[in-house]
A and B are shown apart, each in its own frame.
Chain A
Amino acid sequence: MNKLNLLYGYIILLLVLGTSGCKHETEPFDGPSLVDRFGPFTALTDFTVSQPTVDFANGEEVFFSASFNKNVNWIIEITGSESGSVKTIEGFSSDINATNATWDGGTTKLPLFKNEVCNVVLTIPEEIEFMATETVETLSGKQYEGTLFTDFEEELGVDAFIGNFEFEFTPQTGRQSDFPAQGDSYLRLEGTDNVVPNFFVGLIDLKASITGNTYIQLPTTVPEDLYFNCFMFSDAGPHGLAIIDFIFDANDTGAFEDGQDTGFRVMADYNLATWEGWRQISHPMSETGITQEQLEKVVAIRLLLISDKNAQPTPPLQVDFGIDYMIFTAGGPLEL
């Protein structure tokens, strides 16, 4: 073998391997942008709203616009002047536009928006001196997907049975309109377990006939896909528990007969001391243990107000909760 040829081979090998060391993946830079992290902030365009009024029920949306010289964490907070409802939109960008700041009428913090003037505030946490405001008027509320059971906007009449067996409910039990989560009314259960101390304060049965049907109409009867949703109010007072029973018409009479029909409920009670204000309750019906066949014959929903007697002082304290906008959805919980 010619030694010189071998040398040429070495040189070629060197060149091939040597040049292979210069190829790197090209990315703009590593880590977050220093300009974004530490650069001075300037608003390049004013904060604006795309339209002064918006009709959500007709599918309209509204979006907000602004631009800055760098990417920032920004927060748009929309507050209903009448309802007190709050919608928050957050992002990290240098541009606020239709792709990242569109409002479809949804809510972040209950209650739901009414037809009202809403105040819109843009803030940037890192720039505490910056704030921009706008207003937008909602002409109608967002239409949520699902099958509404009741939102308590109409008189309940014979479709509701108030079981005040021990005369422990207060007169405030029933439809109220002081601070509804949706619309103008909600249902309130309020009382004190001081007549017959036995945990039980009272109950209200909401019959399927409230919807004009024998059985509750549902978007699906597959327990795993069917979600029950409602808004529940608590003043965070201690010792109160709420229970929601779904009544299956076990004897096929088309009506709710206590003691003959079967109730299903989620395993955990709603401990009313654990939150304050309105919150959304959502769970798949499979959590109650009800079957698909039984879901086809749900004849009523029972609401119970319980007082935790063992924890109550003497005399016991009043307990209460509110409920609004009971709706069934398919495939997932109600999305506000």
Chain B
Amino acid sequence: MKNIFIKICWLLVLALCAGSNLLAQDGGSEATIADDEKSKIRFNGLGRTILTQTSIAGDVIEADTNTIDRLTDGEFLLDLAINATPNKNSEVQAIVRLRNEFGGFFGAGMSIEVRELWARGIIADFVKYRVGDMDVVMSPYTLFSPDEEGFVNEPAVFQPLKKVIDYEQFYTDDNTRRLQGAKLDFGLNFGTILEDLDVSTFIAKIRGTDFFTIPNRLVTGGEINFSTVTFNDSLGLKADFGLNLVHTFDDLQSGNAVAGIRNTVATIEYDVTVLDKSNLSLHLSGESGRSNVGRAERQTTIITDEAGEEIRREEKNIMISEEDDTFMDVGLTLHLKKQNLTVFAKYIDIGPDFFSTGAQSKRIEYGEDKTYYNRIGTDRNLRQASLFDLSRDRALYTFRTADRLMAYDPRYSNTMPYGDATPNRQGLKFGIHYGEDTDKIAARVDGAFLTEIRGQGTVELKNFNLIKAAADFNLHQFLNWKNTVRATLGVQIETTKRGGLEVEQVDLTSNLIDLGLEVELFPKFDILLGAKLFTSEGNDYVPQLSGFNEVRDFPGRYIADDQETLLGLGIKYEFKKDIYMTLQYNSFNSELGSDNPNNYNLQQFFVLYNMKF
């Protein structure tokens, strides 16, 4: 019974694919690419130079003679993209990376690698294909790279280093995941009931085998999105639907591996336009589905004849553990068009055992070694990741998926540490968004009032309250100045509480404020100022997780009494679009409670030259 939903979705996918192919042969294709009979080879890419000098001071290193108080590093990098269109239906691209570390001479510290390689095109003027590297995104519960924590409305002064991380880890504004494999897309138009239908399917390898115990890991899936015609013209009533399916599995035929994981997530998305008038629109939208996760084992059965002699050996994969759970996300969105105001509220219910490796894998790996001062103090303790690291250290970031819920820091994100697909949550989410980036004021407020569905270590449930507010003030529009003057503000308030016996109680409050100012002193020449102020106080229990999302133990009560301050001051000159240089001074202060001998502060000067061509 538990896989019926998944099986039904598979059948729907197959049925719709089959049906669409028949229609395709009737000439229902709409996919095209630019018509250009001549082959072309184009060169573009990115060049980057960054030099940093980082120093540390504070109580923690007063008696520490092992820590170098000043580090200088950097890199010179060229990503050369070679793009070729041999004919109107084909395109290939390779990005070759040449990199030299600061201080590397005559080949030392230099590396050459292929950063990206893909080919794409159109088959029979109908099916788009792509092989090699690709960015894929589906829904927030199936295949999605949730935003990282540590910012609300990132001040412009901190954005250049953040963009370096985004580029290095293939993060995009669409929350895509970087995969390597093959992808097919096609679309159809209809005349009645359905207006159009888009089908996309892919398969990718996300981990290679070591030829011993670690098998290849692959992810495959697809989505079918279709829109209906307008049922009621006076109301604008219509509906968009999407079916999503993602299956992540270990290939137990690779290497000598005998055990691996299976994770299937099947969902349905919908967006029903209940009302669409000239001044407002109302949508009922959401997504619900089911996940199945488990471990498979390869077992060999020896087939014998009546005399007991071996005839042959049969191998089959059997599931040795399985777990299912469901989720639901449904809400209403009201858009007041004239006021440029969008209001939404939704109810979510994400099961405690809901597991979706493609959607829950975090961007930040807190367990990784930090680039700057990973261990400090006389005891060489690991330095806790801070806003300083989250804002610039690419070593903490990953684009890979994990087969268990990754570690998180409850100070920065406790309500939804794994994005929308965070398991074991139910409650209300809401938001109010006003204006566009180019308006005088653009603002948004998002919130969530959630509770656990199943307790951790107790039957008592945690309550999470999260408010995130952000506003951009384009002051030059108020003052009628030609040059840009923009102030940005971001505030995040997050509380976590749990009642019960004293030992079960939890009370953690974290506040983050982002302040930014960019002043275009001369055309293309900006002065940048920014501050990130963070406090966290209280206590919580952070579980140690074993397989998938099983709570193995609690290492102890997590106590926070922290203040972090990150200040930035810099100048930026934009030679032309996507080509700029910025020189900055950043100062970071970490206070772990009052008079704590582990307090420290970091200063960093850096110059970054970035060029897209």
Q: Is B551 an interface residue (CB 8 A)?
A: yes
Chain A 113-154: CB-based contact to B (< 8 A → 1; otherwise 0): 000000000000000000000000000000000000000000
Contact B458 A34 (CB under 8 A): yes
Which residue in chain A gives the minimum CB-CB distance to B288?
A21
Which residue in chain B gives the minimum CB-CB distance to A29?
B455
Task: State how many angstroms separate the Cβ of A14 from the closest Cβ of chain B.
Answer: 6
Chain B residues whose CB sits within 8 angstroms of the CB of A20 once the complex forms: 5, 288, 290, 326, 328
Chain A 1-19: CB-based contact to B (< 8 A → 1; otherwise 0): 1011011001000100111
Given contacts A30-B352, A38-B503, contact A14 B270 (CB under 8 A): yes
Contact A18 B330 (CB under 8 A): yes
Chain A residues whose CB sits within 8 angstroms of the CB of B472 once the complex forms: none
Contact A10 B550 (CB under 8 A): no
Which residue in chain B gives the minimum CB-CB distance to A26?
B454
The B interface, classified by DSSP as helix, strand, loop or mixed, is: strand
Q: Is A258 an interface residue (CB 8 A)?
A: no
Given contacts A30-B457, A39-B503, contact A25 B231 (CB under 8 A): no
Task: State how many angstroms separate the Cβ of A71 from the closest Cβ of chain B.
Answer: 12
Point out which of B229, B554, B556 has the most chain A C-beta atoms below 10 A from its C-beta. Answer: B554
Q: Is A98 an interface residue (CB 8 A)?
A: no
Contact B268 A17 (CB under 8 A): yes
Chain B residues whose CB sits within 8 angstroms of the CB of A39 once the complex forms: 501, 503
Task: State how many angstroms separate the Cβ of A42 from the closest Cβ of chain B.
Answer: 13
Task: State how many angstroms separate the Cβ of A140 from the closest Cβ of chain B.
Answer: 45
| Separation of A38 and B541 alpha carbons in the complex (Å) | 11
Which residue in chain B gives the minimum CB-CB distance to A30?
B551
Q: Is A40 an interface residue (CB 8 A)?
A: yes
Contact B349 A22 (CB under 8 A): yes
Contact B556 A24 (CB under 8 A): no
Listed from nearest, the 8 A-B pairs whose CB atoms lie closest are A21-B328, A31-B551, A34-B457, A29-B455, A21-B288, A30-B551, A39-B503, A24-B351
Chain A residues whose CB sits within 8 angstroms of the CB of B455 once the complex forms: 28-30
| Separation of A4 and B232 alpha carbons in the complex (Å) | 9
Which residue in chain B gives the minimum CB-CB distance to A7?
B231
Given contacts A30-B352, A31-B543, contact A18 B328 (CB under 8 A): yes
Chain A residues whose CB sits within 8 angstroms of the CB of B327 once the complex forms: 21
Chain A residues whose CB sits within 8 angstroms of the CB of B501 once the complex forms: 35, 39
Contact A38 B556 (CB under 8 A): yes
Q: Is B453 an interface residue (CB 8 A)?
A: yes
Chain B residues whose CB sits within 8 angstroms of the CB of A28 once the complex forms: 455, 459
Could you list 24 A-B pairs, sorted by A, with CB under 8 Å? A3-B231, A19-B328, A21-B289, A21-B329, A22-B326, A24-B325, A24-B351, A24-B353, A25-B324, A25-B353, A29-B458, A29-B459, A30-B454, A30-B455, A30-B551, A31-B456, A31-B543, A31-B551, A31-B553, A31-B554, A34-B458, A35-B501, A38-B503, A40-B503
Contact A31 B552 (CB under 8 A): yes
Which B497-517 residues have a C-beta within 8 angstroms of A? 501, 503-504
Number of interface residues of B (CB under 8 A): 48
Q: Is A33 an interface residue (CB 8 A)?
A: yes
Q: Is B134 an interface residue (CB 8 A)?
A: no
Q: Is B237 an interface residue (CB 8 A)?
A: yes
Q: Is A171 an interface residue (CB 8 A)?
A: no
Q: Is A259 an interface residue (CB 8 A)?
A: no
Contact A30 B543 (CB under 8 A): yes
| Separation of A311 and B241 alpha carbons in the complex (Å) | 83
| Separation of A77 and B5 alpha carbons in the complex (Å) | 55
Q: Is B286 an interface residue (CB 8 A)?
A: yes
| Separation of A28 and B541 alpha carbons in the complex (Å) | 17
Task: State how many angstroms separate the Cβ of B141 from the closest Cβ of chain A.
Answer: 10
Task: State how many angstroms separate the Cβ of A24 from the closest Cβ of chain B.
Answer: 4
Contact A32 B554 (CB under 8 A): yes
Chain B residues whose CB sits within 8 angstroms of the CB of A4 once the complex forms: 231
Which residue in chain A gives the minimum CB-CB distance to B460?
A29
Which B303-353 residues have a C-beta within 8 angstroms of A? 324-330, 349, 351-353
B457's contact among A10, A17, A21, A31, by CB below 8 Å, is which? Answer: A31
Contact A32 B457 (CB under 8 A): yes
Contact A18 B288 (CB under 8 A): yes
| Separation of A6 and B230 alpha carbons in the complex (Å) | 12
Beyond contacts A1-B192, A29-B459, A37-B553: 11 other A-B pairs, Cβ-Cβ < 8 A, are A3-B231, A6-B231, A20-B288, A20-B328, A28-B459, A29-B457, A31-B457, A34-B541, A35-B501, A35-B504, A37-B457
| Separation of A226 and B541 alpha carbons in the complex (Å) | 53
| Separation of A10 and B327 alpha carbons in the complex (Å) | 19
Q: Is A27 an interface residue (CB 8 A)?
A: yes
Chain B 528-568: CB-based contact to A (< 8 A → 1; otherwise 0): 00000000000001010000001111101100000000000
Chain B residues whose CB sits within 8 angstroms of the CB of A1 once the complex forms: 192-193
Point out which of A1, A19, A21 has the most chain B C-beta atoms below 10 A from its C-beta. Answer: A21
Which residue in chain B gives the minimum CB-CB distance to A27?
B454
Chain A residues whose CB sits within 8 angstroms of the CB of B237 once the complex forms: 7
| Separation of A151 and B287 alpha carbons in the complex (Å) | 76
Q: Is B239 an interface residue (CB 8 A)?
A: yes
| Separation of A23 and B453 alpha carbons in the complex (Å) | 11
Task: State how many angstroms separate the Cβ of A3 from the closest Cβ of chain B.
Answer: 5
Which A37-52 residues have a C-beta within 8 angstroms of B? 37-40
